């Protein structure tokens, strides 16, 4: 089982080397035995997983197997799963048994996946370290004194620890790519509108996008294939054909123009990361790609812009948590006001409250123009930077993060420093572009992520570029020290 990829598992299932029930049981055992080291799962749905696995085995025998039939995966606990607690890692939803499935959950179920459970995350996906979870911090399997990144830290840690071959994640400012980078995985943030947001608990609606996390680009392609596509329940979902991603993995990349933004190699970047990225670019040169220096002049404004837009949207998105229809309600509210103010004070954690207050401020009368409107204008400038760059290059490459995984607790008391760790990932969400992070080396035993950013809806080129690099490197095959 160690280092199984989805592709491996599918081969094993097809060859009847093992059944879905067997492999599912192995993962469930591994979770039971080892997850106390990582805290990567909030809820393990063992019984349901085994039922699904047996059904998958039957389907496979009957020849009615979906593309991912019998493959166990985990869902970030931000996707609604009917009948299963969907907590968003918040006390607010600790008792919330979702009454319906997210579109992503339904689509993967239709493809035949087995759900091992729900993974930990920063509360309401607000964080880059997975330290804000109501269920406690998650540890990085490469170094358990370090954070796994966030907000999809539970998904990343589970895969890196061998407790799941793959998982879903969501990415609002880097929440798939940054934990993928910090845990030595491959994770893809699809183009905004490629994957339905229906049933994915909203943090910042114009930035959120669900996507796959796994060991390889090939697995990302397999998962994205099942997740992607138009959903009539999501007005921001785009009605576009979904290409065959697996078939695209080997598309000819000779002559591919890769832009390298000079702003992504400025001060603050760990020198070992810088050289690892340079080395991976050399590899692309050898593959026939053309590397070009480009400029994304508004890069330094991405974090400021994001920390207005995301909290502003969140401040409204999180107003529904009021103790009336579901979720946490404070004890013995003495009146309506008390019900609201105490439910929300007790139900939300500190980071969430802070962001709600910032968002409230940015939208409040007298400050809207200076903050919210300004941020929306800056957002356009950032998007225009990318539009300009894509006139001359096919993809953009750079580090996913300026530093490798940092120590638990290190940045908790200094949010601004933590926010700045997302400097390379955030602009991508503001522009709505697809981007992938893939392993590109190690520094002091911690993984390094290479980020590739693509044109709107061109996930195919990103997956191909990542896959073909992985055919020539073995960073993605390295196993974390304690992994199963």
Partner 1 sequence: MEWEVVIGLEIHVQLTTKSKIFSGSSTAFGADANTQASAVDLAMPGTLPVLNEQAVKKAILFGLAIDADICRDSVFDRKNYFYPDLPKGYQTTQMDFPIVGAGIVEITLSDGSTRSVRVHHAHLEEDAGKSLHEDYQGMSGIDLNRAGTPLIEIVSEPDMRSAEEAVAYLRKIHSIVTYLGISDGDMSQGSLRCDANVSIRPKGQEEYGTRAELKNINSFRFVERAIKTEVLRQIELIEDGGKVRQETRLYDSDKNETRPMRSKEEANDYRYFPCPDLLPVHVEQSLINELMAQMPELPDAKRQRFETEFGLSAYDAALLTGERPVADYFEAVASSAGDAKLAANWVNGELSASLNRENLSITASPVTAEQLGGLIQRIRDNSISGKIAKQVFDALWNQEGDSADAIIDNKGLKQVSDSGAIGAMVDEVLAANPEQVEQFRGADEGKRKKMLGFFVGQIMKASKGQANPGVINSLLNEKLGG
Partner 2 sequence: MSLDQNDIAKLARLARINIAETDTAELSQRIGDILNMVDAMQAVDTTNILPMANPHDAVQRLRADEVNETNQREHFQKIAPQTADGLYLVPQVIE
* Residues from 306 through 345 that contact partner 1 (CB under 8 A): 312-313, 315-316, 318-322, 324-326, 336, 340
Q: Under rule CB under 8 A, which residues in 205-224 are in contact with partner 2? A: 206
Question: Which residues are registered as beta bridge partners of 169?
Answer: 211
Q: What are phi and psi of 125, to 5 degrees?
A: 70, 15
Q: How far is the CB of 317 from partner 1 (least distance, A)?
A: 9
Residue 76 annotated to the active site: yes
For residue 480, how many other CB atoms are within 10 A of its CB?
21
Contact 33, 483 (CB under 8 A): no
CA 310 to chain centre: 16
Q: Which does 224 bind (CB under 5 to 8 A by kind): partner 1, partner 2, none?
A: none
Q: Which does 257 bind (CB under 5 to 8 A by kind): partner 2, partner 1, none?
A: none
Which burial class, exposed, middle or buried, applies to 430 when counting CB atoms under 10 A from its CB (0-12, 13-18, 19+)? buried
Q: How far is the CB of 441 from partner 2 (least distance, A)?
A: 30
Reduced to 3 states, what is the DSSP secondary structure of residue 177? helix
What is the distance between the alpha carbons of residues 233 and 231, in angstroms, rounded to a whole number? Answer: 5
Which burial class, exposed, middle or buried, applies to 16 when counting CB atoms under 10 A from its CB (0-12, 13-18, 19+)? exposed
Binding mask 445-484 for partner 2 (x = CB under 8 A): -----------x----------------------------
Site for partner 2 (CB under 8 A): which residue of 144, 376, 473, 478? Answer: 376
What are the structure tokens assigned to 33, written together?
A: 């035995």
Residue 155 annotated to the active site: no
Q: How far is the CB of 196 from partner 2 (least distance, A)?
A: 13
Q: Pick the catalytic residue: 20, 76, 128, 152?
A: 76
Q: Which does 80 bind (CB under 5 to 8 A by kind): partner 2, partner 1, none?
A: partner 1
From 481, 420, 385, 454, select the one nearest 243 (Cα to Cα).
454
> Count of alpha carbons within 13 Å of 404, Cβ hemisphere only?
23
359 vs 404, beta carbon nearer partner 2: 359
107 vs 467, beta carbon nearer partner 1: 107
247 vs 336, beta carbon nearer partner 2: 336
Q: Which does 375 bind (CB under 5 to 8 A by kind): partner 1, partner 2, none?
A: partner 2
364 vs 392, beta carbon nearer partner 1: 364
Q: How far is the CB of 48 from partner 2 (least distance, A)?
A: 18
Q: Which does 93 bind (CB under 5 to 8 A by kind): partner 2, partner 1, none?
A: partner 1
Question: Which residues are registered as beta bridge partners of 439?
Answer: 449
Residue 151 annotated to the active site: yes
What is the distance between the alpha carbons of residues 1 and 309, in angstroms, rounded to a whole number? Answer: 43
> Count of alpha carbons within 13 Å of 213, Cβ hemisphere only?
36
Contact 194, 460 (CB under 8 A): no
Q: How long, in residues, is the chain?
A: 484
Question: Which residues are registered as beta bridge partners of 146?
Answer: 407
Q: Which does 308 bind (CB under 5 to 8 A by kind): partner 1, partner 2, none?
A: partner 2
Site for partner 2 (CB under 8 A): which residue of 54, 251, 257, 374? Answer: 374
142 vs 321, beta carbon nearer partner 1: 321
What is the distance between the alpha carbons of residues 288 and 68, in angstroms, rounded to a whole number? Answer: 33
Contact 430, 207 (CB under 8 A): yes
Contact 242, 228 (CB under 8 A): yes
Q: Pick the catalytic residue: 19, 20, 90, 175?
A: 175
Site for partner 1 (CB under 8 A): which residue of 80, 221, 249, 253? Answer: 80
Q: Pick the catalytic residue: 40, 128, 133, 151?
A: 151
From 95, 348, 199, select the one nearest 360 (Cα to Cα).
348
Pairing of strands 114-119, 41-44: antiparallel
Contact 122, 150 (CB under 8 A): yes
Q: Which does 16 bind (CB under 5 to 8 A by kind): partner 1, partner 2, none?
A: none
Residue 305 makes contact with partner 2 by CB under 8 A: yes
Q: How far is the CB of 469 from partner 2 (least distance, A)?
A: 27
Chain residues that interact with partner 1, rule: CB under 8 A: 79-80, 86, 88, 93, 96, 98-100, 102, 197-202, 204-206, 232-236, 312-313, 315-316, 318-322, 324-326, 336, 340, 360, 363-365, 368, 372
User: What positions carry a catalytic annotation?
Assistant: 76, 151, 175
């Amino acid at each position: 089982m160690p280092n199984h990829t989805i592709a491996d598992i599918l081969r094993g299932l097809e060859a009847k080397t093992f059944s879905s029930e067997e492999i599912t049981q192995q993962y469930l055992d591994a979770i039971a035995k080892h997850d106390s080291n990582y805290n990567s799962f909030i809820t393990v749905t063992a019984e349901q997983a085994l039922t699904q696995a047996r059904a998958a085995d039957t389907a496979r025998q009957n020849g009615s197997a979906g593309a991912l039939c019998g493959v166990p995966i985990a869902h970030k606990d931000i996707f609604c799963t009917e009948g299963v607690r969907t907590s968003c890692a918040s006390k607010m939803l600790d008792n919330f048994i979702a009454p319906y499935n997210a579109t992503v959950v339904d689509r993967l179920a239709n493809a035949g996946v087995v759900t091992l459970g729900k993974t930990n995350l920063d509360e309401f996906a607000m964080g880059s370290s997975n330290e804000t979870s109501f269920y406690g911090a998650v540890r990085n399997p490469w170094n358990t004194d370090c954070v796994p990144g966030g907000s999809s830290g539970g998904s990343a840690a589970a895969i890196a620890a061998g407790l799941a071959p793959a998982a879903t994640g969501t990415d609002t400012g880097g929440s798939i790519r940054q934990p993928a980078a910090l845990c030595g995985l491959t994770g893809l943030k699809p183009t905004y509108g490629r994957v339905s947001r229906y049933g994915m608990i909203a943090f910042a609606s114009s930035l959120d996008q669900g996507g796959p996390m796994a060991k390889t680009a090939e697995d990302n392609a397999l998962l994205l294939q099942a997740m992607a596509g138009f959903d009539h329940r999501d007005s921001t979902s785009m009605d576009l054909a979904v290409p065959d991603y697996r078939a695209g993995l080997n598309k000819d990349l000779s002559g591919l123009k890769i832009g390298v933004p000079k702003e992504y190699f400025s001060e603050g970047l760990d020198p070992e990361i810088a050289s690892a990225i340079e080395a991976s670019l050399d590899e692309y040169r050898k593959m026939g790609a053309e590397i070009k220096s480009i400029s994304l002049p508004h890069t330094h404004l991405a974090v400021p812009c994001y920390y207005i837009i995301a909290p502003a949207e969140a401040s409204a998105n999180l107003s529904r948590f009021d103790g009336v229809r579901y979720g946490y309600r404070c004890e013995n509210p003495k009146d309506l006001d008390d019900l609201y103010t105490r439910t929300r004070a007790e139900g939300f954690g500190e980071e969430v409250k802070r962001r709600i207050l910032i968002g409230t401020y940015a939208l409040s009368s007298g400050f809207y123009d200076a903050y919210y409107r300004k941020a929306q204008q800056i957002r356009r400038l950032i998007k225009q930077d990318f539009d300009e760059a894509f006139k001359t290059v096919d993809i953009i490459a750079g580090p996913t993060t300026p530093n490798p995984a940092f120590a638990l607790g290190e940045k908790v008391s200094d949010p601004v420093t933590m926010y700045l760790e997302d400097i390379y990932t955030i602009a991508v969400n503001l522009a709505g572009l697809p981007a992938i992070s893939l392993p590109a080396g190690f520094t002091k035993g911690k993984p390094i992520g290479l980020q590739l950013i693509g044109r709107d809806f061109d996930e195919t080129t990103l997956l191909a570029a990542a896959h073909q690099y992985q055919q020539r490197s073995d960073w993605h095959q390295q196993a974390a020290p304690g992994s199963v």
